[in-house]
Amino acid sequence: MSEDFLKNPLSLFDVKSKTAIVTGATGAFGAIAAKTLAAAGANVVLTANNADGLKKIAAECGKLGGKTETIAKRPSSEANCDAIVATAVEKFGSLDILVVASGQNKVAKIVDQKAEDFLDVMDANVTQSWLMARAAARQMIKQGRGGKIILMSSARGLLGHPAGYTAYCASKSAVDGITKALGCELGATGITVNALGPTVFRSPLTEWMFADDDRGKTVRAGFLTRVPKGRLGEPEDLAGPLLFLASKASDFYTGHILYADGGYTAG
């Protein structure tokens, strides 16, 4: 067995000059993913509905040394997914990495939730992940040199939640199923398919859980009784696992959900 990698073990995590697509790039995790890959030297195609937000993230990626292209589309249709992939190929010549960071949640108890809201969550988190993965896989197979597909799961794909998360939990469990099935289906092509599963990490939507007011302290204290690391997540806690999944370091790791959750799902 060759051990050439031992001459430079850090090369296993090298994504320099690779081309990545990040959907939902204006969201909390999407922005982290885009900036992490850009700082590591990848070319990054940023996608989301918010054109102004994309410009802001692109500028931040540029300051970190990455080359970017933006396309103001969500992976909400076959045509949009094909256009997103085409943008990457036209701008940078290939597609090596896909990060599906787009999605949504609509919280409501099942007796109160509208059927259309449940279906919206399933569409955003499941169908759009499948459509984008399919478009990327077609391009990667055509190129014939493998690739990395990273979907967005959650601890809630494994565990339930008492506060109106039936749509979200179901959608993330479905993402886990897609990840495992595609890991098996695409394994022989050299394409790895994995998902990143965080729990609560700092973002505009979760900032209240980090606050020192009575509500934040109470909810945080209760939550942390189940987190062995004893703290909530920070953006940098997702950067390392993402880079692992996007790089050669994970070439023999496929069909898995990597939980970046401080041990939350281990208990």
Sign, Cα dihedral of 209, 210, 211, 215:
positive
Q: Is 165 a catalytic residue?
A: no
Q: Give me the residue label for tokens 């990455």.
A: 66
In the 3-class helix/strand/coil scheme, how is 155-206 assigned residue by residue?
HHHCCCCCCCCHHHHHHHHHHHHHHHHHHHHHHHHCEEEEEEEECCECCCCC
CB 21 within 8 A of CB 136: yes
Active-site residue identified among 165, 168, 259, 264: 168
Q: Kindly tell me the sign of the dihedral angle through the C-alpha atoms of 109, 125, 155, 255.
A: positive
3-state SS class at 247:
coil
The Cα–Cα gap between 143 and 124 comes to: 28
- The kind and range of the H/E element at 127 are none
Which are the catalytic amino acids? 168
